[in-house]
Amino acid sequence: MRYLFFLAGWLASLATSAQSAETPEINQHVWKPFIETFNQYRSDDFLALHSRDLIRSARDSKRVLNWQQYLDETKTGEANDKKEGFKRTLELRFTERLHSTTQAIDVGIYKTVYTFSNGTTQAFYGRFHVALRKEKGRWKILVDTDSSENGTIGEKDFYQAKPME
């Protein structure tokens, strides 16, 4: 019986170390450039971080988009923000990160602060669920969903989540 507990613990530790070993690579391939390209309104570079098989849903809008639809919407939104003189700053924190060597699930809280042309700011929060896979040696976002959960996600949730390593 002790052997079974030891074996179960050992296997769990192997799974945990295998998962966490992928985290820095995912951060480098996806999350750091995701934040940078989003903040700088670089839609083509932003969408290049996503698989061409992408399924995207901002669940508050009750819609599902493919890669091209998401690119088109992103470009339209960026053009409107630039025209209005808006700036935005995205930050991500994580509540769950599960990884194998080729697939991953990242869950967390985002905070996007918009600075409007008159200098005022407004923060928006939501929970994201993202599935990633390794394609040709690079991590890509395969499924990306987020929701404000009816406006219940806020600053407290954001700071309770873990910052990117």
Q: What is the pLDDT of residues 51-71, one digit of tens each?
A: 999 999 999 999 999 999 999
Residue ranges making up the domain that contains 44: 22-163
Distances (CA, A) of 48 to 37, 74, 86, 121: 10, 12, 23, 29
> What distance in Å separates the CA atoms of residue 68 and residue 54, rounded to the nearest whole number?
9
Query: Is pLDDT of 9 > 60?
Result: no
Per the domain annotation, does 11 fall within a domain? no
Given a cut of 80, whether residue 6 has pLDDT beyond it is: no
- pLDDT tens per residue across span 141-155: 999 999 999 999 999
Residue 29 has pLDDT above 70, yes or no: yes
Number of domain units in the chain: 1
Domain with 68 in it: what CATH number? 3.10.450.50
State residue 88's pLDDT score: 97
